[in-house]
Chains A and B, each alone.
Chain A
Amino acid sequence: MSEPHQDTGTGWPAPTEAPPEMPAAAPPGKAAEKPSAKPAAAQPQEWDVDGPDAATEPEVGEAAAGSPAGRRRVSAAGAAIGLLLVLFGFAFVVQLRSHATDQAQTTARPEDLVRILSDLDARKDRLSQEISQLQTTQQQLAAGSAGRSAALDAAAKRARDLGILAGTLPAQGPGIEVRFLPGSQGLKAAVMLDAVEELRDAGAEALQLDGGDGQSVRVVASSWFVDGPNGALEVDGRTLTGPYLLTAIGDPPTMRTALNIPGGVADTVHNAGGNVIVDQPGTVRVSALHPTGSPRYAQPAS
């Protein structure tokens, strides 16, 4: 029944090796190894030392499931077969998958392929252009980051300095605390203004005025002083009562001297029946803030 198919298998013009499934039609090279179509006769001599045992087995395949001797024989040849089959399955799946991925290209017409290729080329050009742009940007940023951070530091320092001068930031440092104990008639606003002016002349950088009622005012360039009712003092819209504490940050000896010059602030207060106590605690703190808004009319000119 299978005879004609064996013939067709060998009937093809160029079978370079023996078809494995046709031992009866094997070419002479194979026939030398296997003189007969019965493999059971030839195999023991070729494969195994325990020939007589295996000779009882009609087939190799059945020997695999047969006696222990057959099992041992399979472990050598069967390993090779198993390895080949593992490789075959592996390659089969790999080929299936790799073919499935590029099937769209293989079935496409040449015009489409040319279009796809030109699209890809254009895309590649765009991407490489983008790469070079980004690299340039990166270099610029890397070069500018040092200068930028330095400029940022300088700007932050300048903002802090200006904030202290404008009264929008708390400050601390060496300075003096001047305690004004007003006389029976209270303290005139002119005297307080004199004291502030003297301290500024003496180099005070930040000033704060605390009233006896707990009100605190940061004294800045635009601060104003007005006599209030009942000997009180109105500063920047707030009413302060005595005794007053004027805190100034600056060079303590200079400021102390400035307040105590003959005919100066201290003398004036003394003449009015009050008293001035200058205290020098070392580091003083100016914590009151001057509320500021954006200027309504003035705009930056630069």
Chain B
Amino acid sequence: MFAVLALVVGVGLGAFFEPSVPLALQPYLPIAVVAALDAVFGGIRAKLDGVFDDKQFVVSFVSNVLVAGLIVFLGDKLGVGTQLSTGVVVVLGVRIFGNVAGIRRRLFRA
């Protein structure tokens, strides 16, 4: 499938070039990855539910990442970066769990 292919291409690029994360991006990249993970699982679930929307996926993906980064940035400025990062990860983790649960129900009917 097209999306899986794109994902594989991205993984391949990352594994091939092995770039080092710039210092300025180091606190944001993990959060951004988790946010994107949430969006991807949400997209899979929507796809299985038959309500997938291209535009919504793109917008939610981008805004998820941006908002997560913004929260971490603000947290850094306010001196509570670590705690806020943890909070964001918890929220996104719960959402990912919910999405995965939906996928599971859809796939295994259980």
| B46 contact from A23, A85, A95, Cβ within 8 A | A23
Q: Does A2 contact B (CB under 8 A)?
A: yes
Q: Which residues of B contact A8 (CB under 8 A)?
A: 98
Main secondary structure of the interface of B (DSSP, over half): helix
> What are the interface flags for A257-275 relative to B under an 8 Å C-beta threshold, 1 for contact and 0 otherwise?
0000000000000000000
Nearest neighbor of A6 in chain B, beta-carbon distance: B102
Size category, B interface: 35 or more
Chain A CB within 10 Å, residue with most, of B19, B53, B64, B67: B53
With A12-B95, A98-B20: A59-B54 Cβ-Cβ less than 8 Å: no
Cα distance A20–B9 in the bound complex, in angstroms? 23
With A17-B64, A37-B51: A95-B21 Cβ-Cβ less than 8 Å: yes
| A58 contact from B6, B14, B50, Cβ within 8 A | B50
| A84 contact from B62, B99, B102, Cβ within 8 A | B62
With A8-B98, A98-B20: A90-B10 Cβ-Cβ less than 8 Å: yes
Q: Does A91 contact B (CB under 8 A)?
A: yes
Q: Which residues of A contact B62 (CB under 8 A)?
A: 84
Nearest neighbor of B57 in chain A, beta-carbon distance: A20
Q: Does A108 contact B (CB under 8 A)?
A: no
A92 near B14: Cβ-Cβ < 8 Å: yes
Cα distance A19–B95 in the bound complex, in angstroms? 9
Nearest neighbor of B106 in chain A, beta-carbon distance: A2
Size category, A interface: 35 or more
Q: Which residues of A contact B12 (CB under 8 A)?
A: 89
Cα distance A62–B99 in the bound complex, in angstroms? 21
B13 near A95: Cβ-Cβ < 8 Å: no
A93 near B61: Cβ-Cβ < 8 Å: no
Cα distance A58–B47 in the bound complex, in angstroms? 12
With A20-B61, A39-B51: A82-B45 Cβ-Cβ less than 8 Å: no
Name B's A-contacting residues (CB within 8 A).
2-3, 5-15, 18-21, 26, 29-30, 32-33, 36-37, 39-43, 45-47, 49-64, 67, 91, 94-95, 98-99, 101-102, 105-106
In the assembled complex, 15 residue pairs joining A and B whose CB atoms fall closer than 8 Å, in A order, are A14-B91, A17-B67, A20-B39, A20-B53, A20-B57, A21-B45, A22-B42, A24-B51, A34-B56, A77-B55, A80-B54, A83-B6, A89-B6, A89-B8, A92-B33
